[in-house]
Amino acid sequence: MDYQAVLEQIVQDIAPQVGGGRPAEYIPVLASVDPSLFGMAIAEVDGTVHGIGDWQRPFSTQSITKVFTLALALAQGGDGLWARVGREPSGNPFNSLVQLEYENGIPRNPFINAGALVVTDQLLTLNGDASNELLGFLRQESGNPRLGFDAQVARSESEFGDRNAALAHFMASYGNIANPVPTLLEHYFRQCSIEMSCGDLALACRFLARHGLRADNTRLLTRSEAKQINAVMLTCGTYDAAGEFAYRVGLPGKSGVGGGIVAVVPGHCTLCVWSPGLDARGNSVAGVAALDRFTTLTGLSVF
């Protein structure tokens, strides 16, 4: 398939939607990003990368990193994780406490904030570190050794982090957090602060299109585990708009409030699209539109 031609067609088709929505406003660093930026990259399973627009420009990955911490926690600690976090769509905003109370401190899935805190807590327990473990993995998979934390973003997240602190303390009150809450939050905020480009991210999640194989062809996950993460992405990867995303795009995907979205066509390729303007549910407006166009133009939906 001529992916470059597809990318060019997409850029034309979605031009009216670039700049739509509003960048995340809860921390200043995100709020000040130029909303007219747009980039998109496709990584084929063999490692060939195609890109368009601002595809090489780093942006704040935010919740997209939740995919990678989940993969690492499963690879290193195995299935036991699922006793502490569910696999069901939440039907509620990503930072809601309501469901957590009704369900006794067990988050619905690993992609809402509460669930991601549990995953990071698990990684901390397994490694004594979580954020550097993640960073090392992302550098290797993307082949980009310059990836790093954005200290200013991490500090901002922490300053405006009362909601996440509430989630962590709340789960701790149910015995579902093993490490001290401040340590956990520090690692969590650092993970969210990593900056990557569309190209970096498309490469980094290739293991999900390659049934568990890493860039160096060693195995991170079994075929079955890779499939399972894709399933969780499809049902839970885009906050409380997962149904809508599956309906429109029909691919496993994970979004972040930095405006990025990664998506997977198992066996074929991975995609990353970025544009800072978000819709009411926190997903990139132009990003969803671009992925929608991609599946329509190529027929490469999972359905």
Site residues for a copy of itself per CB under 8 A:
86-92, 96-102, 108-109, 162-163, 165-170, 172-173, 181, 224, 226-228, 230-232, 234-236, 240-244, 246-247, 250, 252, 266, 296, 301-303
Tell me the C-alpha distance between 211 and 191, whole Å: 24
Tell me the C-alpha distance between 92 and 261, whole Å: 19
Active site residue ranges: 63, 66, 188, 239, 257
- CA dist list (Å): 103 to 110, 174, 197, 206, 277: 15, 10, 37, 34, 33
Tell me the C-alpha distance between 47 and 41, whole Å: 12
Using DSSP, state whether 33 is helix, strand or coil.
coil
Which residue's CB is nearer to a copy of itself, number 73 or number 147? 73
Structure tokens that stand for 166 in this block: 């509430």
- In the complex, the smallest distance separating the C-beta of residue 243 from a copy of itself, rounded to whole angstroms, is 4
Structure tokens that stand for 177 in this block: 């957090």
Helices 131-142 & 65-77 angle (0-180, nearest 10): 100
Which residue's CB is nearer to a copy of itself, number 34 or number 162? 162
Strand runs labelled E in the chain:
39-44, 49-53, 59-60, 195-196, 253-255, 260-265, 269-274
- In the complex, the smallest distance separating the C-beta of residue 58 from a copy of itself, rounded to whole angstroms, is 28
Tell me the C-alpha distance between 203 and 217, whole Å: 13
Matching residue, tokens 């789960």: 171
* Phi, psi at 107, each rounded to 5°: -65, 150
Query: Nearest-CA neighbor of 126 among 65, 83, 85, 74?
Result: 74
- In the complex, the smallest distance separating the C-beta of residue 132 from a copy of itself, rounded to whole angstroms, is 26
| C-beta separation of 138 from 196 below 8 A | yes
- CA dist list (Å): 126 to 118, 123, 189: 12, 5, 19
